[in-house]
Each structure stands twice: as structure tokens, then as C-alpha cells.
Structure 1
Amino acid sequence: MHLVTTPIMHPLCIFGYLSLTAVIVSPLESSTDSSLNPVCPLGQFPCGNLSVCLPQLYHCNGVQDCANGADEENCVDNSGWPHLFDAFMKKNVEDSKECILDVFPEVCFCEGRRINCNKKGLLSVPAVSSNITALELNSNQITALQPDQFIRYKHLERLHLEDNRIKRISKQAFSGLYSLRRLFLSQNRITLLKTGIFEDLWNLEWLILDENRIASLRQKSFEGLKSLFFLSLLNNSLESIPKKSVCQEMPRLNWLELEGNKISSLWVSSFQNCTTLTVLALRKNRIQTIEEGIFSGMPNLIDLDVSLNKIEEFSPTIFTNLQNLKQLNISNNPLTHIYDDQFDMFVNLQSLSIEEIDIPNISIQMFRSLRNLAHIYFKKFEYCGYSPNVRSCKPNTDGISTFENLLANIILRVFVWVVAFIICFGNVFVICLRSCIASENQHHTMAIISLCCADCLMGVYLFFIGAFDIKYCGEYNRHAQLWMESMQCQLIGSLAMLSTEVSVMLLTYMTMEKYLCIVFPFHNYRAGRKQTLCYLIFIWVLGFIIAVIPLWDKQTFGNYYGRNGVCFPLHSDEMEKPGARCYSTGIFLGLNLFAFVMIVFSYTSMFYSVQKTAKTARQSVYNKEVSIAKRFFFIVFTDAMCWTPIFLLKILSLLQVEIAGTIVLWVVIFILPINSALNPILYTITTSSFQERLKLCLKAKCRQTGLRETSQKVSEVYENPSPPP
């Protein structure tokens, strides 16, 4: 069971107070020999102790792929206390349901030698038969426990006093309860445990004091609890733990629950000689200081939870001597650094929780020694790639990729191929037509062909993403980190950036050229062939520089294109280097936003100019003006549809607003390539001038074909004259 996203579940919540009749079994010594486990390649896990490794895809898939069935084990994270319950607890044989007690209140319910007086409005402990074994007085109005209150009940094994108003407990209140095994005092108003209050409870195994108002503990308060197995002080007001060892009076203490208190420091002396302790829960306190060597006296510790505290750093050797630990939770601490060898001693660790912790120095070496790790919990999905052998990693997706696949969404996994094909086919088609059909404005044709080439690069980028998605299908986490740091990812990302920026600049150039021709028709602003060629070369060179600058300086930009599985630097996060964030902001919210504003302004001015000119024109001119207006609207609309979400996404990411990875994926795969797919239609196929030239070309071709066929027929007539009748 995962102990990070929800508080540690109290055992009482699972078994119920009436069914908790377990006996203690001494914990078995861990006999796991990590040397027997095979070292598997990245992205694979071992079949138990067999020298067989299988891909992560086969873990918990409902089919037994390992000969010993190990691949269908550890499907649920029960590495900590749930496992201990199975190992250490068993139910006693239930008593007879027929009541065999003579004395008990009429309002109460009797079964065997157990009495249930829950929710009866009792103001004090009632008198019952002396041979009672279980007494339940939950949810009453008892305010105090008097001296020798239970001295007659020599056979009492379970005493439930939860949810009362108990504030005062006499030092002799539990005198004579030599057979008591379970004592429940949760949800009362207890503020102090007097010295010697439990001195007669030699056989007590469970002491539950949750949700009281206990502010301090004394070592002598637990005097006499020689058999205590489980001590729970959850949600009290404890500010410290006794400096003298809590295990001195409780030598068999196995489980210590201190969640939800106000403890600020942990000292070595507090846990000396706690050799039987297997579960230590310190979640949700105010711990800032942990003395070096504090865990050295707990060699059998299996479950350690120090999450939701104020710990800023664990020393490199803080966890020394915890070789038997199976579950560790250090989540939700303001840790500033985790050492590369911080977890090296955890050879038997099965579950590691480090949620809500940034790990800027994360590396594969940090988790390499955790050969038995089955479950790991991070703040970010991208960290999962650094633990490629783990069976289960959470979060298992960032919305862009999953544990299994580069592209998380099955729809987009198909859609990436469709969009790539449409982009490449449409732009190649236009390039071929523009190259074959003569145009009056050759300069404009050069710009259109250049734009199609830039848009084609976006299609190539999508083809590569789709190809690598297929390549890593089912085992992406095995390759995730290597992929995002690879030269292929860097080149593909720079290709997408080159396509985007060149396309934006070309559209701006073409728009401005058209703007000058329409708004200022009598000025000779039209560029010549050489000027146009220079402009186009300059745009491509500038786009290339923009795309490759992040590849030159890793110190400033870090892994600029490898921030996610699709290798596109759209979304900023707190782990991004300042230089990369400024550069990305300058490109998307500087250059691109400026270009978008220029395009909108230019087309608005052109529309106004055409409309003004057409006011005195004939109906045919008016119809043409309406057609131009529609065309202008669609150009501006598609630009807005493409770039507005990108601008918003970038602004929100800079404001550190949490953005779902799925949104980023849709933007990169669908929204961003919209212009690349529509540009051939908007700037070529739907233009009336191009359609007219295409018709003329087709007519000329048909006429030429017809003349050729006629000439061929005439030749056949002359070569094969018909015989005279």
C-alpha cells in the first residue's frame, strides 16, 4: 500500500476493533541474500531468485511469464506495515456467541464473555461479571477513570474506551489487569500519562492513545509494558520524545506510531537499543534536526516514514545500518540535496517514496543499488527514467509520455502519423505545382516554396516522433532518460524549432510585402529577385541560428530540447535553467508574439484599405472584396488558433501555473502543426490566381494532347490510305 498520497492507514481501520484478536509472533530475521538476485539490464526485472530477466511490460499483466510466478507478485505496494500484519498477526479462535456472563447492564449487549456498551450514554464504567474478557465502552460520556476501576477483571484481555471525555486517569486505574492485551484510549482528552500508570499491564501488546492532547512523555510513563508490541500516539501534541530510550521500558516494542504531532528533533538516545522496532512512523511532524546515528540502534527496522516534515538534508550516512528496510518515505520535505549514494545501503528496499521533492542532481547511479525496488514515487514523471529497473513508478505519466510509451495518448499516437502525412503531402504537392506552373510573380513563388520547405520540416519532425514512439513501445521508461539526452532528440527538437521559426518569419515577410503592395499601391516597394533571395536566405540562417544556439552552450541552456519525450521546449518548469527560460520566453513571447501582432495588424489594414477602395466600385469588384475579406479572415483565424494557445501556455508556465502534460502534448502534436498543414491551402491551393493558372495549364496541356492525337491520326491516314471503292 502506498503510504505517500494518503496518511498511514491505522490498523484499526482495517480489521475493526472487534476483530483485532491477534497474537504476537516474533519477527523473522531477514534472510534475503541480494547476491542471489540477478542483475538485469535496464528496463527489465528479475524472476525472483531465478537467473531470468523479463521486460517491465510483463509485470502484473495477468499472465504468469516467470516459471515461479514472480512477475505477478508485488502488484500492490504492501511493502511496509500491511506485510507486517500478515507476517506477525493471526486471529484467535472466537468465543462462543452465547452470553455466559451473569452481571452486565441491561442496555448493553453480551456475546460469550464480551460486552458491548457502545453509545449508551454511560457516565462511568459499569459493573460487570469478573470473568469478562472484552469490554467495549466506546462513544460514551465517561470523564475519569478511578483507582482500582478494573481490579476485579483478572481475565480482561481487551478494553475499549475510545471517543469518551476522559481527562483524568488515576495512577491505579489499570491495577490488576494482568491479562490485558489491548487497550484503546483514542479520542479522549488525556493530557498527561502519570508515572507507573501501566505498571500492572505486563502482557499488554497494544496501547492506542490516538487523538488526545498529550504534550509530553516521560520514560517512566511506560513502566511495566514489557510485552508491548504496538504503541500509537497519532495526532497528539507531542513536542519531543524522551531523551532516554523509549525502548528501555518497552523492550519488545515493534511498532511506534507518532504521526501528526509537533516533534521538532530526533536524538540518538531516544531510540537506543530499539533492536525489535520494525515500524517507525514520524509522518506529519515538525522535524528539522535528526542526530547522526539515530537509526544505528534499529537494525530490524522495516518501515520508516519521515514524510511531511521540515527536513532540509539527510547526512550521507544517516541511514547506515538499515539494510533490512523495505519501505522508506521521505516525501514532502524541503530537501535541498540528495547525495548520489544516499540509498546505497538499502539492498532490500522494496518501496521508496520521494514525492514533492525536486532532485536537480538526479542520476541513474542514485538508484542503481536498489535491486529489489518494486515501487518508487517521485514528484515528476521525468524522474522515472532514472530508475529503469523498477516495476512500478508513480506518477506513471506526465501527460506526454507514460511508463510504457513515448506518446501517452493512443489517439495522438495515431494522429501524429496522420498530421505528418498531411503536412508533408500538402507541402510537397504545392512545391511540385509551383515549380511546374509559371507564375507572373516569381518572387512570391520563391517565398511560397520556401514556406512549404519549412512546413515540411514539421512533418518530418512528427514522423520521427512517431517512429521513436513505435521503437520504444511497451518499454519507454527503459530508454526515457537516454532518449531525452540523446543527440537524436536534440536534432529532432532543433528541427521542429527551425521549422516553427522560419515559418513564422516567412509568413511575416510575405504579409508585410502584401501589406505594402495593397496599402501603398502607388509606391514602388516591391522587392527584386536578388532582394527576395537575400531576405529568404537571411530568414533561414536566422532560423537555423535560433534552433542551434541551445545546442552550443549546455552550461547555460542545459538539456534544452530534452525536457520531455517530444523534444520540444514549450513548457517551462522550476528545474529549467534561467538561461533556457529567458531564451524560450524571448522566442515565443518576444519574436513570435511580435510577428503575430504584425500579421494581425497588416491584414486588418489591408482589409480596411480594400474595403475603402471598393466603396465606389462595381458589384463585381464588391464581390471580389468580400472574397478577399473572407480569405483574410481565415488567414488571421488560423494564425490565432495556432499561436494563441501557445502564448497562453507559455505565460501560464512562467507564472508557475500547473499545466497538465496532456495539454502540452496536444499543442505540440496538433495545434502547433496547424499552420504547417493549412499554409499550402491558404497561400496556394485556394488562391484564385493560382487556380486560374492551374486551369490554363491544364487546358494548354489538354490542347497540346489533343493536337498531338489529331496529328497522329492524320499521319495514320496518309500512311495507310483507304483502298478505292
Structure 2
Amino acid sequence: MYDCFDLSDECNSTCEKRILKNWILQVLCWVMGVLALIFNSYTVFCGLKTLQDSGTRSMLTNKAMVSLIGSGDLFIGLYLIMLSFYDSFVYGNGFCRHQPEWYTGTACSILGVISTVGSQLSLFAMASLSIIRMHKLTFKKMSIPRPVNRNSVIKVGFLVTGIITASLAIAVTPLMPSLEEYFVQGMYYDPAYKVFIGFPNKEKHVKVLQAHYNTTNSNITMDLTWKQISDKVDGMFTQQHGLLSRRPVHFYGNDGVCLFKYFVRSDDARRIRQTIQNIADITDQKGDPVVWLMLGVNLVCFIIISVCYIVIYIQTRISSRRSGQRHNPERVRENRSIQNKITLIVATDFLCWVPFIVISGMHNLEFFDATDWYVTYAMIALPLNSVINPLIYEKTLAEFLGRKLGEVKRLIRLSISAVMSSVARFIQSRSEDIQSGNNDLDVIQMEHIRVQEDRELSNQVLAETENR
């Protein structure tokens, strides 16, 4: 059995040899990243360009939230492209030999922050937009749209700032040096020293330190801080050539894709929160409070989005019935369009978050080990909303792509029609050639028969002449 997180086993057929394990994920990462980057760049550009032209408060709020959603999804596209670049051009098949520098390096931390900020920014903005739309439709549907003023701009500014601040806080907090006791997973030491192999956590450090100092007393326990552990490790070696070099394994260095650490390993230091006197007393506290908090926040956001848009749909149906336009063909088309849009919003959010929340919960409750599903989530669940959201929230982009798809369909139909016409003309031409050939053959055969008859007639005449 291999321990793929222990660098003594990293280059084998079982452990990862690339950041993205197969060509399907590699292609999917590039495609989804490029699409998310293009679509959301257009959304953000259009939103910011028309933001100052907003004539009413609701229009200003809507454009600001849509731009914020596009910005978050733009970060996801940037994350996917950067990850693909490192996988394809920087490390390739030699990733297993460079895992230490990746897991402990700045690039992985930046990718983790970008992906976390992007996903939370988009999710918080979608939840806020759904609440604003539901409130306007439910409580202010008969009010006259109010023009933009200084107070409305300040309110929108506070809302945008709050969403951005919350997203950044979630992404950056695990990397703060003051919280390393909670978020640092282990240390990577100079490979020239064979005492610590791979990324030893606190448990492995305590075992080695107890063996070295020949003690099991309370001086060396899991209660030691990383600073105290580092001091005791330095005390194991002479200082003639300086201190032993080391790098902490940061919060996002849990997997090659550098995502927020929802899937906590069973031996992770964050799962060991009990004061102990002996290594055998280590207990598993069923996951990490930070993980449960984030899963709860994301689940609440999904519920808010779903409930708000369901209320919007119900209110729209009630309004149509009360106005007497329930059977109006144009109103029916509008209601069907709203229904399809709401269904798409709820369905994509469900597919993006609910299965992942359930799997993360089951993983942290130790029903099964879902650690290997990290890459699948990064390549499928994360980009799903990032590619579809621009088509939902940015009408001009959907219309543009609709026109282009229509042109492509017409071009395909014309091409097929032209090919079929060419084939038909070719078949007709061949048929005429064959028919013409058959006619020529009939003439030749008739001429041959006539010559034979003339020859037979001449022979008969000659025979009668000789008999006389």
C-alpha cells in the first residue's frame, strides 16, 4: 500500500504523475477555462460599460451584481487556465518529482486563493441578486422605479464591498501566519536529511522528537506549537552550517489542484484538537469546523437562491392570472421563458454545489474516502456555473451566441444541401451516361444483326446459283 502524500512513494503507478491525471481532464480544463474566461470577460465588460448609464436603482443594483457574478466566474476561468498551463508546460509528466515545491510554493497558494475568491464571490453575488429580485417583485411591484442618487450608489457600493471582503477573508485567512497552528498541515525539510521524509505532520514530529530525546513526558506532546517543534528539531542537529531548511505545507497544498480543503485527510493536524499525553490517545473529531462552516454557508446560499427564484416564478404566475392575460400568447411565452431561466439557474446551482456538499459531509463523517475526487470537482463542478452563468445573466451574450449558432446551423444546412445536390447531379449524370452507353450498344448490336442477315442472304443466293 502506497502513501502518496509521503514523498518516499510519490513516483509510481499508483500515485499522481501529473497535476491532471488523464487527457480527458486536461482537455476539459483547457476548454472550460477558455470558455469561462471569454464569456465572463464579455459579461464584466458590458456590465461595467453600462453601469453608469443605469437610470434606476434596481437597474444599478442588477448590473452591479451581474458584473460581480461575472468577475467571480472570470477568476474561475483564470484559475483553470493557470492550472492547465502548469500541468502542460511547467511540470508535465515530471510533476511527481516537483510535488514539494508545488505544495509548499507560492503558485499553488495563489491558485487556491483565486479559485476560492471566484467561487465564493459568484455564489454570494447570486444569492444577493436573488434576494433583491424577490424583494422587488414581492414588496415593490407596484412602486414607481426610483432614479439613481448618491444614497443608492453608496448602498450598492457597501453591498459589493461586503461581498468582496467576505470572499477574500474566506480565501486568505487560512494563509495568515498567526493561524499556522491550525492551518499548516506539515513541514517539508531539506531532502538531504533523512530523519523527516515527505510532509511530516505534528504526530510524526512528536514520534521522532520523543525517540531522539528519549522521553515520553509532557515536554513533547501534540500541544507543541510549530515554533516549538522547529526549535526542538534544530536542537537535533549541530548549527555549524546554519539551521535546517524547511517550508510549511500550506492550507491549499493538499492536492495538485490547490482547492479549498473541503476533504480533510484522516491524519490531518486540523482533525486532532485534543490535548494528549500519549500518541495512542489521539482521537478523530469527525472533520474540521471550518469545513462544516463553509459547507453550511454554501448550502444556505443555494437554498436562498432556489427559494427566491421559486417565489419569483409563483408571483409571476399569480400576476398573469390576476391581470387576465393568463392565456395571452405573448404572456405565455414570457412566462415560459422565465420558467426555463429559473429552472436553469436552480439546476446548475444544484449540480454545482449540492452533490459536492453531500460528498464532503460523508467524507468528513468517514462514510467513505473522497480524497481522489478533488480533481473531478475542480474540472466539472467549479466550471459548470462559470460557463453557464454568463448565458443566464447576460442577455446580450446569449442573444449573440444564439445568432451565431443559428448562422452555423444555416451554414451546415446549406452545406448539406449543396453536397446532396452535387451527389444527385452526379448520380443523374452517371445514369444518363449509362443510358447513352446502352443506346450505343443497342445500335451496334442491331448493325451486327443486319450484317449477319446480309451475309446469310448472300450465302443463300450463292448456293442457289451453284445448284443451277
TM-score (norm 1): 0.40
Largest Rg, 1 or 2 = 1
* Equivalent of 2:136 in 514, 517, 520: 517
* Equivalent of 2:25 in 403, 412, 435: 412
Is the Cα contact below 8 Å between 2:43 and 2:394 reproduced in 1? yes
Spell out the pairing of 1:556-595 with structure 2 (5 A cutoff): 556-558=182-184, 559-568=250-259, 569-576=261-268, 577-578=270-271, 581-587=288-294, 589-595=295-301
Q: What's the CA shift string for 1:537-561, capped at 9, x where partnerless?
A: 1110111111111001121112321
Is the Cα contact below 8 Å between 1:645 and 1:667 reproduced in 2? no
2:85 paired with 1:461: no
Is the Cα contact below 8 Å between 2:130 and 2:309 reproduced in 1? yes
Shift of 1:508: 0.6
Give 1:536's aligned residue: 160
Is the Cα contact below 8 Å between 1:430 and 1:684 reproduced in 2? yes
Spell out the pairing of 1:627-642 with structure 2 (5 A cutoff): 627-642=337-352
Spell out the pairing of 1:177-196 with structure 2 (5 A cutoff): none
Change (3 A) 1:468 1:386: farther
DSSP 3-state at the match of 1:382: coil
Structure 1's unaligned 5+ residue stretches are 1-354, 356-377, 695-725
Identity of aligned residues (%): 20
Shift of 1:662: 4.9
Shift of 1:453: 1.3
User: Alignment RMSD, CA only?
Assistant: 2.5
Letter in 1 for 2:395: I
Letter in 2 for 1:477: C
Spell out the pairing of 1:415-430 with structure 2 (5 A cutoff): 415-430=28-43
2:4 paired with 1:381: yes
1-structure distance, mates of 2:54, 2:392: 17
* Equivalent of 1:548 in 172, 183, 200: 172
Change (3 A) 1:524 1:596: farther
2-structure distance, mates of 1:494, 1:629: 35
Change (3 A) 1:498 1:599: same
Q: What's the CA shift string for 1:62-94, capped at 9, x where partnerless?
A: xxxxxxxxxxxxxxxxxxxxxxxxxxxxxxxxx
2-structure distance, mates of 1:633, 1:543: 26
1-structure distance, mates of 2:334, 2:156: 28
2-structure distance, mates of 1:687, 1:673: 18
> Which is richer in helix?
2
Select the structure with the greater relative contact order (CA < 8 A; seq sep ≥ 6): 2
Q: What's the CA shift string for 1:247-272, capped at 9, x where partnerless?
A: xxxxxxxxxxxxxxxxxxxxxxxxxx
2-structure distance, mates of 1:429, 1:630: 23
1-structure distance, mates of 2:133, 2:145: 10
Which 10-residue stretch deviates more, 614-623 or 552-561?
A: 614-623
2:147 paired with 1:492: no
DSSP 3-state at the match of 1:474: helix
DSSP 3-state at the match of 1:475: helix
2-structure distance, mates of 1:422, 1:570: 26
Shift of 1:524: 8.5
Is the Cα contact below 8 Å between 1:386 and 1:481 reproduced in 2? no
Give 2:317's aligned residue: 611
Shift of 1:447: 1.7
2-structure distance, mates of 1:551, 1:537: 21
Structure 2's unaligned 5+ residue stretches are 185-249, 274-286, 404-468
2:120 paired with 1:501: yes
2:384 paired with 1:678: no
2-structure distance, mates of 1:444, 1:485: 40
Shift of 1:669: 1.2
Change (3 A) 1:686 1:597: farther
Letter in 1 for 2:167: G
Letter in 2 for 1:594: V
Give 2:304's aligned residue: 598
DSSP 3-state at the match of 2:12: strand
Spell out the pairing of 1:208-247 with structure 2 (5 A cutoff): none
1-structure distance, mates of 2:71, 2:380: 19
1-structure distance, mates of 2:63, 2:153: 11
Letter in 2 for 1:555: E
> Which is richer in strand?
1
Is the Cα contact below 8 Å between 2:263 and 2:363 reproduced in 1? yes
DSSP 3-state at the match of 1:584: helix
Shift of 1:505: 0.6
Shift of 1:387: 5.3
* Equivalent of 1:645 in 334, 348, 355: 355
Shift of 1:570: 2.9
1-structure distance, mates of 2:145, 2:124: 19
Q: What's the CA shift string for 1:271-317, capped at 9, x where partnerless?
A: xxxxxxxxxxxxxxxxxxxxxxxxxxxxxxxxxxxxxxxxxxxxxxx
1-structure distance, mates of 2:65, 2:181: 37
DSSP 3-state at the match of 1:510: helix
Shift of 1:444: 1.5
Shift of 1:599: 0.8
2-structure distance, mates of 1:549, 1:556: 11
Q: What's the CA shift string for 1:337-396, capped at 9, x where partnerless?
A: xxxxxxxxxxxxxxxxxx4xxxxxxxxxxxxxxxxxxxxxx2x3222x3556xxx536x2
Is the Cα contact below 8 Å between 2:390 and 2:397 reproduced in 1? no
2-structure distance, mates of 1:519, 1:463: 41
2-structure distance, mates of 1:523, 1:591: 33
2-structure distance, mates of 1:644, 1:546: 20
Letter in 2 for 1:591: V
Q: What's the CA shift string for 1:663-714, capped at 9, x where partnerless?
A: 33111111122111111110013799x88xx9xxxxxxxxxxxxxxxxxxxx
Shift of 1:661: 4.8
Is the Cα contact below 8 Å between 1:550 and 1:557 reproduced in 2? yes
DSSP 3-state at the match of 2:255: coil
2-structure distance, mates of 1:482, 1:436: 41
Shift of 1:627: 1.6
Letter in 1 for 2:181: Q
2-structure distance, mates of 1:686, 1:429: 10
